[in-house]
Structure 1
Amino acid sequence: MYEALLFLHNLVRWFVLAFGLLALWRPGAKEGAFFAHALTLQVVLGILLAFVSPLFQGALASLEATLQTPSEARYFVAEHWVGGLVALGLAHAGLSQARKGKPRARLLFALALALVLLSIPWFRPLLRL
């Protein structure tokens, strides 16, 4: 189950990035919906992954020690998911603005995409097969 969720979470990342670029290029309601909903799926997969991940569960068992030292476990427990949730909020705010035809949708999509890019663990394999 863990490997399947990890594979899906990794795969959906590329759709999120592609739809984020599309929403940035053409900040309409349709493009924004693709981005926001792909990011929603990504966050849901990430939450499910946290429940079955041995790294995440091990880090939670010794949370105080995990948070005191910079490590891969600390990154996933304290930073990765927070960036994803904030990006999700920005993407849905951008979608709301795009549906109203307001120009600030592009800014919100750009902020969401930037946060997604900052939250991706680039030190991990880019494609898991």
Structure 2
Amino acid sequence: MQPEGSTGRYRQQSWLNFIASELHKMYSPWLFHPEYGTQAQDVARQKIAERLGVVESHLAKSGPYLAGERFSAADAYLFTIVGWSAFTKVDLTAFPQLRAFMDRVGARPNVRAAMQAEGMKIAA
């Protein structure tokens, strides 16, 4: 966690808010409930792609993590939400920086251990 009152802390909080309000709420419930229908799901996927474009641009300029060189809680949250993409059929092809981010975070020993403890599939 970034020190209270630091610029890094405010940036991290900004990313946590963005992920919660712009990504998390678009994946769920829209893409987890087929009863909403394909039209609603297609709209959600389009909006997610727009928001992932913001993340992609930021990572290209300021990466490798959301706060630059330092891994933060915002990165863990982004990894979790974007990790739903395969299941929800959100195409990440257009986001090479984001895909590299997902690989980088997924390779972290503690992330791998947490995923294994939860019985989740771990990339080789």
TM-score bracket, normalised by the shorter chain, equals: 0.3 to 0.5
TM-score (norm 2): 0.39
TM-score (norm 1): 0.38
Please identify which structure carries the higher helix content.
Answer: 1
Q: Which has the larger radius of gyration?
A: 1
